[in-house]
Structure 1
Amino acid sequence: MVPAGGCSAGIGDANTYRGGCQHTMPIGGGGHAPLLAVPLPLGGGAAPPVGGVGACTHPERAAQGESSFLLLLLPPRHILLPPHPLPRPCFRPRSAGDFGPAPAAAHQSSTRGGSGRQRPAPPRQETPPRGPRHRPQRHHRHHEPQRPRSHHGLGHPGQVSLQEAGQPPDPQPRRATGWARVPAPAVSAFPPGAFPLPEALPGGSAHIHGWQMQGDRGGGSAPGAQRVPEWGGSLLLRPPSLPPSLPLPLLSSPPLPFPLSFPSLFPSLPPSLPPSLQELFCRSLAESEMRTAPYEFPEESPIEQLEERRQRLERQISQDVKLFKEQSEDLVDHIPKEREALLEREFQRVTISGEEKCGVPFTDLLDAAKSVVKALFLREKYMGLSLQSFCKTTARYLQELSEKPLETRGYEEVPETPVAADAPVHPPFAEQHPYEMWDPKTMPADLGFGLKMVDGVVHVYTKQDLTDKSTELDLPYPDLQEFIADMNFLMALIINGPIKSFCYRRLQYLSSKFQMHVLLNEMKELAAQKKVPHRDFYNIRKVDTHIHASSCMNQKHLLRFIKRAMKKHLDEIVHVEKGKEQTLKEVFETMNLTAYDLSVDTLDVHADRNTFHRFDKFNAKYNPIGESILREIFIKTDNRVSGKYFAHIIKEVMSDLEESKYQNAELRLSIYGRSRDEWDKLARWAVNHRVHSNNVRWLVQVPRLFDVYRTKKQLANFQEMLENIFLPLYEATVHPAQHPELHLFLEHVDGFDSVDDESKPEHHIFNLDSPLPGNWVEEDNPPYSYYLYYMYANMTVLNHLRRKRGFHTFVLRPHCGEAGPIHHLVSGFMVSENISHGLLLRKAPVLQYLYYLAQIGIAMSPLSNNSLFLSYHRNPLPEYLSRGLMVSLSTDDPLQFHFTKEPLMEEYSIATQVWKLSSCDMCELARNSVLMSGFSHKVKSYWLGPHYLKEGPEGNDIRRTNVPDIRVSYRFETLCQELTLITQAVQSEELETIQEEDALTITSTLSTH
């Protein structure tokens, strides 16, 4: 039933409806006051009209077998009700034989005359609880603890409802015999603000806190009364301030459109209202402003009442939250994933504003920015020349300063099978071993090219006639003079005072900013990690980016392997001494040792305090029991048994990695350059013994030992050493069928490393006066930069040749910055994709800032450094990590520095305990190790996500890396801010130069005229 002029907005189901309608109803004097009716949750029946009376069934009461009840919606109390909130008591009709005797606390009035009418007694005067200030809420959350609510949310501060107390509507009119007040415990059966509609209001009237309610079921109707068919009578309602002669209809205005949110409850009243209503409105509004917070209670409330209300409030909040979640389940599927990702990346950011936010004068900023930008351009040039990778973000900012197109090494150039976003994290590997069933006929065709090394760099000719220079292939490599000039520029840059101050300030700022980020967002990062199912630090991919194959096992593993070999292969010939063959038994008999005598202490391969700053003693630890013959037998690839024992122990280490599933390694094998057949022997060792694992990639290290070989007359000059190292690689690229094992082996080699004791003094400085490799016949060792330049130059030509053939290319990842002079790091910055150690960066702020801007990978080994060059607490790894350098953890030599079966986990464990790294820090280090590793693009797509090459959080997949997007966003935004700082300074200087040139041109033109 909808009264005339009423709102027809109903309720279609039993769910809570968070809507409302606003109407105006006339009040004496011709003014209008808004009337807000909020629909109530219903369990069945027709919806009650807004501002009217209707028959409905409450879900809870219907479950008890009760029939329908009546509801009446009244205007908001802020507008029309008295200044005091409505009381909690609930009135029930008391008629003879219906409800039994009246409660003791009931107030019963006497009958007047013989009319049979009975007037309800006024309620007791008690202090009502102070109601909360009503504020419209957008969410399903109610802040009204003073008025307990049912779990369906009935009883809004802006609504009053009347409902029948348990009795079905009587179709026949009936007279009531009296009224009684229900005690407080019975009130909880009704929603707050709900009052029963009396079965009959005989000619008299009932009063509810000043409101007069008059009704009749006898068939008559008072002037202005509202007819209610469900009730079987009419109802008339009057406010306390209006005279009885002025009727107040329930609704008399047309319905308004249904609003999307609750309307304002503090409207302005027309000036034509009677003074009594204006005063009433002002008092109600003033009281609502003075009310306390929703969770506070009046002081006059008893403790028991406070406790009861608190419990009801807690139950209501829990039920409301549950209901809200149930209603929101259908909306979850409609939320875009992009929106979810954006929400995950919301975090607290720290920004610095101001014109001179870098803390140095603008002239110093300009000079530093120009020098830093030039240094970054130099690295970009050498990385692009050698087909090595360069940071995409840095390249994008540099491209804005130059007219050249962006040229970086892209994995997209190599055809790869795309990986879907929902692909499994474990890449599919071929079931067949790559070294099995290979056919020389399937090898790539020979090109017939000629090869010749000229001035230390290999040149490739299209014909075997090496005298005809017209047939030389145009394969680029760096010019020696240009390289030395660029190196001298960087050497001068790192000792420039103002630039050092600028870079030091920026690095300190980066450290402080990260500490602020951790303070503000650490809990958010942890919460983001907890949301990821199944993924944690133990089952994310991590790569040991710096580990030597000859010491990849721990000392207990080596001891057990030697004992096992002594039991099974005692009579096997393993060594030749002065032309005499020796079995394994005879070798140990010469040492007066048996398998029982061997122990970890006997092996004496573990580093101790005596190896600190003593690299010579550390190298001696590679010899078990101090005997080089055991090293040759068990951890060498070229020996009497063709490296069989070494292959077996390496395969056992690989088996351990495969068992762990999530740990990987890049093992380093040695090529010394003493003979031309070293590569073929190494490849034959790997292929014949099937030393391969999907968890392992190879790097080839070249020890800088030319002075030793030259002293022993094993080499004539340095160029001969370079030929022994690189010419076999060129031959395997040009003629794969002639070197089939080497061709297969190179498919699993990532790049090259340069190793030796960096602390050894260098007697030469690499400059234009340095002799060429063919003329270097001295017994002194060439300097570090000399080694790196010629390794880089030959690798560059080789990469271009292999790219033409469709083979994968190599990278240069030397040991750099562990000890020795700073200029080692300068050479590494120019020609290396990644480096190992990098400890000396802590003493060179300019280089450290450049390594950060270029995002050069640094594989650090704190336990190794602790035994050799730098104590653990002084290691700069946590400082590098906080500033945003691309660092990863590695083991270096588990044989000398570790104790457990999982040395990489041991490294992470100690670093986490000593430096108090968080789970996010550990996962970030693991992600960095995968990014800087040499595993294929396809494998990384499975481990990190198919979009890992994208910049910033778009390239992160927390389901695979367990690194929150918050951390990746912070790193990306901070790097962009630093690059913006230096590039904008350069752009502003260029703009000023252009403006000055334009001004000079205009001035000269005017002077001419």
Structure 2
Amino acid sequence: MHPPAPERHPYENQDPASMPHDMGYGCKMVDGVMHVYTTRNIMEKSTELELPYPDLQEYIADMNMMMALIINGPVKSFCYRRLQYLSSKFQMHILLNEMKELAEQKKVPHRDFYNIRKVDTHIHASSCMNQKHLLRFIKRSMKKYPKEIVHVERGKGQTLMEVFETMNLTAFDLSVDTLDMHAEVMADLEESKYQNVELRLSIYGRSRDEWDKLAQWAVTHQVYSSNVRWLVQVPRLFDVYHTKKQLCNFQEMLENIFAPLFEATVHPGSHPELHLFLQHVVGFDSVDDESKPEQHIFNLDSPLPVNWTEEHNPPYSYYLYYMYANMTVLNHLRRQRGFETLVLRPHCGEAGPIHHLVSGFMLSENISHGLLLRKAPVLQYLYYLAQIGIAMSPLSNNSLFLSYHRNPLPEYLSRGLVVSLSTDDPLQFHFTKEPLMEEYSIAAQVWKLSSCDMCELARNSVLMSGFSQGVKDFWLGPHHTKEGQESNDIRRTNVPDIRVAYRYETMCEELNLITQAIRTDEQETIREEGSLCMGAGQKEK
């Protein structure tokens, strides 16, 4: 098994004429979801392509059923007891097998926690550096490029020196404290070799050209690294844009976000930079302060996006449904063309109402934060059964929502939920050059995580990430998509087969318990129907 071939720079020497051909399809948004037609002129002899997406009525019905399930007393008791059982079972496993796991790890040559692959699955590009790194960059830029125009206001440009003068600052005055914070980052990642990140970049949906500007920036400045993949975060700020008269309705925001993607998929030559950039975008994120109160409950009477002209923001579940519906149609189209598809990986469950986690469970590939699962045993058990990934950031949560010792990460890990460690905002919460290692080291000290626990977290981060199948084959082993012990290659992951086998057997037992209950229920129904038929036959005689 050899490493993936060294990637040449994907943005160099690209001939627009070599782009994939134009399919000639037309696209139009109807009731908040993009529809694709066989010709550009939709009014003349054009038929709609069959690109299915989740039905709105079905989504709302399922969401209501899930909400009812969460508050059902017997179901809550059952799920709570199963979660407690999983915790106790893991403690028993540790007592019996901890030394065996350690011995298995020691037998592996050239592999320890430092040289296994780790992915920072939740980090924002705008604050991916630490404070000292940013300070050095600003000072160096002030010395080298003082006359570079860095800010434009009302059509007038300001140089870097003029910006400093307006704030009565010089390069000498700057320190970490004056920063008001208690393509070098990529180079550091490549140097470290074993650390990788999935950086979030923002698309706001205020205008159609946002995607082209972002892609042009990436391609022109060759912002690329084999250690980096991109996620696009969409802030839930429709109410702000609508108040400023930048958007007429919610459908306009959706069109601004998704229309350029459909155009670049149907006719890559119309957006060449965007087509290239999308090859390294792995998904969408939905971000904002979840603790903000929602004034509307998503139901069948909710206005369609084209009619949503109210001043208050649509609810979280409304945003997620329309993002997911459009992504589903887009993925069908991109899969037909052999292009990379996108997944939904929103911020979810950091604060706010519990229905955010319900929407996340129904629509997401994995989520970021998930703190509120500790208060919802039914949902926590469902996230375990479905193995939905959770990227957790204990240092970020410690500053904003939940003290470090109360963080549920060790509890989730012991129960078998797919959790990984991430940094969120190194500029705000970390001090060292390697924030992800800082996150791991603090977690290991505070929660007394073993070497096996740390390697399992790292393996989870790779499994959750959007890196390609070939890359994951090299990082985790060629059989990592299989089930159980067979999926693990300890020479690459440093996770003992004993731990992987335990996780798989425990999951099988839980699924068997659920399916056995369903089978028993079906058998009782069949017996009841059979006895009724026999009783009716005897009466006829």
2:329 is aligned with 1:752:
no
Distance of 1:468 and 1:763 partners within structure 2: 42
Give the structure 1 partner of residue 243 of structure 2.
Answer: 711
The answer for the alignment partner of 1:568 in structure 2 is 144
> Residue 525 of structure 1: CA displacement?
0.3
**1:428 and 2:12 are equivalent in the alignment:** no
Q: Where do 1:249-268 residues align within 5 Å?
A: none
Q: Partners in 2 of 1:469 and 1:481 — Cα distance? A: 30
Q: 1:702 to 1:524 in 2, by over 3 A?
A: same
Give the Cα separation in 2 of the matches to 1:689 and 1:886: 36
1:540-689 alignment runs, 5 A limit: 540-606=116-182, 651-689=183-221
Looking at structure 2, the residues matched to 468 and 840 of structure 1 have their Cα atoms a distance apart, in angstroms, of 51
**Equivalent position of 1:787 in the other structure:** 319
Encode CA deviations 1:933-981: one digit per residue, 9 max, x unaligned.
0000010000000000000110000000000000000000000000100
> Which residue of structure 1 aligns with residue 70 of structure 2?
494
Q: What per-residue deviation string (whole Å, max 9, x for no partner) do you get for residues 318-374 of structure 1?
A: xxxxxxxxxxxxxxxxxxxxxxxxxxxxxxxxxxxxxxxxxxxxxxxxxxxxxxxxx
Separation of aligned partners in 2, 1:808 and 1:746: 8
SS in 2 for 1:847: helix
How much has 1:470 moved relative to structure 2?
Answer: 5.4
> Distance in 2 between the 1:578 and 1:795 partners?
37
The match for 1:975 is 507
- Aligned equivalents of 1:750 and 1:429: distance in 2? 20
Q: How far apart in 2 are the matches of 1:721 and 1:823?
A: 23
3-state SS of 1:753 partner: strand
Q: Which deviates the most, 467-476 or 852-861?
A: 467-476
Match of residue 996 from structure 1: 528
Correspondence for 2:495 among 946, 963, 966: 963
Q: Can you list the C-alpha shifts for 1:393-434, whole angstroms capped at 9, x where unaligned?
A: xxxxxxxxxxxxxxxxxxxxxxxxxxxxxx14x43222x210
Give the superposition deviation at 1:797. 0.3
Q: Which amino acid aligns with 1:735?
A: H
Runs of 4+ with >6 A deviation? none
- 1:208-219 equivalent positions in 2, closer than 5 A: none
Distance 2:330 2:156 in 1: 42
Residue identity in the other structure for 1:881: L
Task: Say which structure, 1 or 2, has more relative contact order (CA 8 Å, 6+ apart).
Answer: 2
Give 2:474's aligned residue.
942
Match of 1:451 in 2: 27
Q: Which of residues 329, 333, 353 is equivalent to 1:801? A: 333
Once the two structures are superposed, residues 280-317 of structure 1 have per-residue CA deviations (whole angstroms, 9 ceiling, x without a partner) of xxxxxxxxxxxxxxxxxxxxxxxxxxxxxxxxxxxxxx
Question: Helix, strand or coil: the match of 2:122?
Answer: strand
The structure with the largest alpha-carbon Rg is 1
Q: CA deviation at 1:482?
A: 1.1
- Per-residue Cα deviation, 1:563-601 (whole angstroms, up to 9, x for no partner): 000000001122223332211111101111100000000
1:243-392 matched pairs, under 5 angstroms = none
Return the letter of the residue paired with 1:459. H
Q: How does 1:756-767 map to 2 (within 5 A)?
A: 756-767=288-299
2:224 counterpart of 1:692:
yes
Letter in 1 for 2:133: H
RMSD: 1.0
User: Aligned equivalents of 1:726 and 1:844: distance in 2?
Assistant: 34
User: 1:468, CA displacement in angstroms?
Assistant: 5.2
Residue 824 (1) aligns with residue 400 (2): no
Residue 727 (structure 1) aligns with: 259
Structure 2 CA distance for aligned equivalents of residues 989 and 500 of structure 1: 19
1:997 offset after TM fit, Å?
2.1
Deviations 1:600-643 (A, max 9, x none): 0000123xxxxxxxxxxxxxxxxxxxxxxxxxxxxxxxxxxxxx
CA offset at residue 779 of structure 1?
Answer: 1.3
Distance 1:428 1:526 in 2: 33
TM-score by length of 2: 0.99
Letter in 1 for 2:190: E
SS at match of 1:747: helix
**Separation (CA, whole Å) in 2 of partners of 1:452 and 1:757:** 31
Partners of 1:468 and 1:976 in 2: how far apart?
54
| AA in 2 matched with 1:678 | E
Q: Which structure 2 residue ranges, 5 or more long, are not aligned?
A: none
Q: Residue 601 of structure 1 aligns to a residue in which SS?
A: coil
Amino acid at match of 2:108: V
Asked whether the 8 Å contact 2:324–2:363 carries over to 1, the reply is yes
CA distance in structure 2 between the partners assigned to 1:691 and 1:801 by the alignment: 27
Give, in whole Å, the separation in 1 of the partners of 2:521 and 2:50: 39
Give the 3-state SS of the residue equivalent to 1:598 in structure 2: coil
Shift of 1:881: 0.2
Considering fraction of residues, name the structure with more helix: 2
Q: Does 1:518 align with 2:50?
A: no
1:984 CA displacement? 0.4
- Rounded to whole Å, the distance in 2 between the matches of 1:469 and 1:964 is 61
> In the alignment, what sits opposite 1:986?
518
CA drift at 1:995: 2.3
1:165-176 map, 5 Å:
none
Partner of 2:47: 471
Distance in 1 separating the partners of 2:157 and 2:114: 48
- Say which of 376, 387, 395 aligns to 1:855: 387
Distance 2:311 2:165 in 1: 39
Measured in 2, the distance between the counterparts of 1:469 and 1:762 equals 44
Corresponding position of 1:611: none
**Normalising by structure 1, what TM-score?**
0.53
Aligned to 1:505: 81
How far apart, CA to CA, are the structure 1 residues paired with 2:250 and 2:531?
58
Q: In 1, distance between residues paired with 2:42 and 2:69?
A: 42
Per the alignment, residue 342 of structure 2 pairs with 810
1:671 CA displacement: 0.1
Partners of 1:814 and 1:1003 in 2: how far apart?
55
For 2:213 and 2:153, locate their aligned partners in 1 and report how far apart those are by CA, in whole Å: 21
Amino acid at match of 1:751: G
Tell me if structure 1 keeps the 8 A contact 2:38–2:46. Answer: no
| Distance in 1 (alpha carbons) for counterparts of 2:155 and 2:207 | 21
Report sequence identity in percent.
83
Distance (whole Å) between structure 2 residues aligned to residue 778 and residue 1003 of structure 1:
60
Residues of 1 paired with 2:493 and 2:319: CA distance? 37
**Using the alignment, how far apart are the partners of 1:851 and 1:686 within structure 2?**
36
Q: Which runs of 5+ in 1 are unaligned?
A: 1-422, 607-650
Change beyond 3 A, Cα 1:468–1:848: farther
Q: What do residues 743-767 of structure 1 show as CA deviations (whole Å, max 9, x unaligned)?
A: 0000000000000000000000000
Secondary structure class of the residue paired with 2:368: strand
The 2-side partners of 1:469 and 1:1006 are apart by 63
Distance 2:429 2:503 in 1: 32
Distance in 2, Cα, partners of 1:949 & 1:601: 47
Once the two structures are superposed, what CA deviation does each residue of 1:106-132 show, in whole Å capped at 9, x if it has no partner?
Answer: xxxxxxxxxxxxxxxxxxxxxxxxxxx
